[in-house]
Amino acid sequence: MSAAATPAFTALRFDVANRVATITLARPDALNALTLALKRDLLAALAAARRDRTVRAVILTGEGRAFCAGQDLRERLEPDAAPLEVELRERYNPLVSAMRGLPQPIVGAINGVAAGAGASLALACDVRVAAEGASFARAFGRVGLVPDSGATWLLPRLVGAARAAEMALASTTVSADEALRIGLVSRVVTGDDLMPTARELAARIAAGAPTAMALTKRALHRSLDATWSQTLEYEADLQGVAGRTADHAEGVRAFLEKRAPDFTGE
């Protein structure tokens, strides 16, 4: 994609390098709380990543000491703020749906606290790696709200019903180490190692055949609410699609010729 086609972002940074798009929420003074501008930018950044055929994986992270503190509560107090249900249907739901529907897998580099809808953004990533000082705070209860942006669906599926209920109802904050123990993240590393680790994971994803990666993401998502037999059928359908790609043929040739495959996305 040419630089001219990249939208101008005011509340985040969007960089593409080595087939990986990095989206950095950039309102550090407000712990990257989600304003209208940031939500608009994030949706546009996901669309830009989707359009860019060179992008094979995405990293989502935050600038400063927080990943994202959820809805910007100052903006909520403005007289023309949309009713909550409208805000959810028109902004938050499209955002987390765009993350889940993005063909390229998303690595969440959880650099600090992820609270409220910020935690929901983290949950909507495909892979999560956390810095030692990061934490997950449901936060909704403290401001008299219910978990949203897919949290009540994703959380029990990721950590089980009992822990999800405790986090959601008792608004307990989960440290990075606890998040690793309960399966909310797959790795915890030092703050200095966070972005290198996220880039390494993204590079491993980017080295895969793009169609296979996109279909694998789709199958993993679909399995969360499908039966065993539906999953077997779905895997067979997707394997049929992957098996007809040039990348599959290239992968087999590369294996037999004892060399690294050159996947083109075809």
Give the footprint of ligand T3D on this chain (CB under 6 A). Answer: 30-31, 33, 69-74, 76, 84, 87-88, 113, 115-117, 137, 139-140, 142-143, 145, 148
- Surface-to-core class of residue 254, CB atoms within 10 Å of its CB (0-12 exposed, 13-18 middle, 19+ buried): middle
Least distance between ligand T3D and beta carbon 43 (Å): 15
* Residue 195 vs residues 63, 113, 199, 202, 228: alpha-carbon distances, Å: 11, 16, 6, 10, 36
Q: Between residues 116 and 261, which has the closer beta carbon with respect to ligand T3D?
A: 116
Q: Between residues 74 and 157, which has the closer beta carbon with respect to ligand T3D?
A: 74
**CB–CB of 25/66 below 8 Å?**
no
CA–CA gap between residue 15 and residue 160 (Å, rounded): 35
Token pair of 103 as six digits: 């063909």
Least distance between ligand T3D and beta carbon 51 (Å): 28
Least distance between ligand T3D and beta carbon 20 (Å): 27
Q: Between residues 127 and 151, which has the closer beta carbon with respect to ligand T3D?
A: 151
Q: Between residues 46 and 117, which has the closer beta carbon with respect to ligand T3D?
A: 117
Least distance between ligand T3D and beta carbon 65 (Å): 7
Give Dmax over CA atoms of the chain in angstroms: 66
Least distance between ligand T3D and beta carbon 16 (Å): 28
CA–CA gap between residue 184 and residue 123 (Å, rounded): 8
Q: Between residues 71 and 211, which has the closer beta carbon with respect to ligand T3D?
A: 71
